[in-house]
Amino acid sequence: MGRPSPRGGEATEPRPARRLGTADAVVIGLGSMIGAGIFAVFAPAAAAAGSWLPAGLALAAVVAYCNATSSARLAALYPASGGTYVYGRERLGPFWGYLAGWAFVVGKTASCAAMALTVGAYAWPEHRQVVAVVAVLALTGVNYVGIRKSAWLTRAIVAVAVTVLAAVAVACLTGQGADAARLEPGGDATLLGVLQAAGLLFFAFAGYARIATLGEEVRDPARTIPRAIPIALGLTLLIYAAVAVAVLAVLGPERLAGAVAPLADAVRAAGVPELVPVVTAGAAVAALGSLLALILGVSRTTLAMARDRHLPGALAAVHPRFAVPHRAELAVGAVVAVLAATVDLRGAIGFSSFGVLLYYAVANASAWTLRRDEGRPAPAVPVVGLAGCLLLAATLPVTSVLAGAAVLAAGAAAYLARRALDRRGRA
């Protein structure tokens, strides 16, 4: 038999190579989570929850833990690119898998744009959109030439971000402004405000999905994925909690809510202004890490949906040399670059949160159907996860809910129309 043609159909396409170990998968998860929450979400979350920001953080962490557990059990059973798109299709039916994949691709494409704009805002505010587009194109190129190169770059970015965040926490908790701010009373928040803050903060925890969507590229996925997801989530929660307490101690809830660059404002208020350039650089680097892993995950779900012809079949191609879904990566990079040049940062975050919460709702519903011999989690885990996702999605800003619902409805209508045409063609 001849060698498979790189331009052949699905049966002859090369598959992504299994090159990632547990440490690499954990780092990709950390790179997705650290940056989005710390540098982009704390201020609007504080505006919603006031002094109850830690309660919102705790609620987001509970929902994220349930989602992580459900995703890990499903990923061990279905170690294929696509994440909840695959789980929903196999456990609930093709429509639910498609809806999850559509929510993920659309929501996380918006998230990619948000992270690119964050890079621009910190690196060169006067030309933030130009910087954002350049960052998208550069990181798409990194992903194109191989998954291992992406993992090593993400490892370096995470190391820089964690070092900067540790410096911020220490400066805030030991600085001269900490005691005075700690005595400031915070404004009370409503239950709706706490829930909205949790929904916004959940945007920061969602990176562990990137590990599950790499199911075809990790070694021994049945062991690696269930280990990597909770480790990445636990480390991120510890970092978030430490920084939240530190920044609240210095700024108080009202000043934090109004801060444009909360971590830079916090170290300045703590009496350590020399750390401001370090924090600014760290924010840009951390956002780059998030953007790198986000593009990686969206392209893998695009690959899975293209294989099932829910997206153009050409996007299912895998590069014969680099063993990556190169057409999917180029397509995702192009769309994100256009969005980064045109969209608003806050709107992109809210829209992304809505889509990702619904994506995880399908993951929890899928995990509920697992049998005990398939690794079903404790019954309360998928129930709490499903209810939490739906509740947090419903309490996001009204514009985000309406826009997200409209886009999901359009995707569902396209799916049903395609099914109707297929039936008509067979008849």
The candidate with the shortest Cα–Cα distance to 204, out of 73, 337, 399, 392, is 392
pLDDT band at 215 (very low <50, low <70, confident <90, very high): low
Host H or E run for residue 246: helix 221-258
pLDDT band at 3 (very low <50, low <70, confident <90, very high): very low
Residue 393 has pLDDT above 80, yes or no: yes
Residue 180 has pLDDT above 60, yes or no: no
Cβ neighbours around 3 below 10 Å, total:
8
Query: What rounded mean pLDDT belongs to the chain?
Result: 84
CA distance 58 to 358: 20
CA distance 237 to 209: 15
**CA angle, residues 19, 307, 322, in degrees to nearest 5:** 30
Cβ neighbours around 295 below 10 Å, total:
27
CA distance 112 to 290: 8
Q: For 187-213, give the DSSP string.
A: PP--HHHHHHHHHHHHHHHGGGHHHHT
What percent of the chain is modeled with pLDDT above 90? 36
What percent of the chain is modeled with pLDDT above 70? 87
Indicate the angle between helix axes 191-205 and 345-368, nearest 10 degrees.
80
322-357 confidence digits (pLDDT tens): 888 999 999 999 999 999 998 887 788 889 999 999
Q: Which domains does the chain have, with CATH numbers?
A: 18-420 (1.20.1740.10)
User: What average pLDDT does range 307-317 have in this prediction?
Assistant: 88
Hey, what are 281's tokens? 């650089």
SS3 content of the chain, % helix, strand, coil (to 5): 80, 0, 20
278-309 confidence digits (pLDDT tens): 998 888 888 888 888 788 888 888 888 888 88
94-132 confidence digits (pLDDT tens): 999 999 999 988 998 999 998 998 888 778 878 889 999
**218 φ, ψ (degrees, to nearest 5):** -110, 150
pLDDT band at 62 (very low <50, low <70, confident <90, very high): very high
Strand, coil or helix: 310: coil
Residue 363 has pLDDT above 70, yes or no: yes
The candidate with the shortest Cα–Cα distance to 218, out of 308, 151, 303, is 151
Most confident of 19-23, 39-43, 123-127, 267-271: 267-271
The candidate with the shortest Cα–Cα distance to 207, out of 32, 340, 331, is 32
The candidate with the shortest Cα–Cα distance to 19, out of 217, 288, 301, is 217
Residue 369 has pLDDT above 70, yes or no: yes
Q: For 97-160, give the DSSP string.
A: HHHHHHHHHHHHHHHHHHHHHHHHHHH-GGGHHHHHHHHHHHHHHHHHT-HHHHHHHHHHHHHH
Hey, what are 312's tokens? 């153009």
The pLDDT of residue 183 is: 39
pLDDT band at 2 (very low <50, low <70, confident <90, very high): very low
The pLDDT of residue 185 is: 44
Q: Identify whether the C-beta of residue 116 lies closer than 8 Å to the C-beta of residue 291.
A: yes
Residues 54/60/63/67 CA torsion (nearest 10 deg): -130
pTM of the model: 0.81
